[in-house]
Amino acid sequence: MTTTDRERIRGEADVSAEKEYQTVHRIRSRIEELEEDAALLKEHHPELHAELRDAVCGDA
């Protein structure tokens, strides 16, 4: 996420409902891309996939 996205998600930025919607939509799109990227890494670069998984999932 961008710094602005983080501020909006935290509620620190005073933005319209439309801007908030756009932020959520943009983040969802990035999550979809991340899913594709993770699958690509898993197949072609397992070490990077493991790093990504550890960063996202932690001890979960």
| Structural Rg of the chain based on CA atoms | 15
Q: What is the pLDDT along the chain (60 residues), one digit of tens a residue?
A: 999 999 999 999 999 999 999 999 999 999 999 999 999 999 999 999 999 999 999 976
Q: Which two tokens stand for residue 1?
A: 């996420």
Claim: this prediction has a pTM higher than 0.85: no
User: HSE of 3 in the Cβ direction (CA atoms, 13 Å)?
Assistant: 0
Asked if 14 and 5 count as a contact pair (C-beta separation under 8 A), the reply is no
Residue type at position 58: G
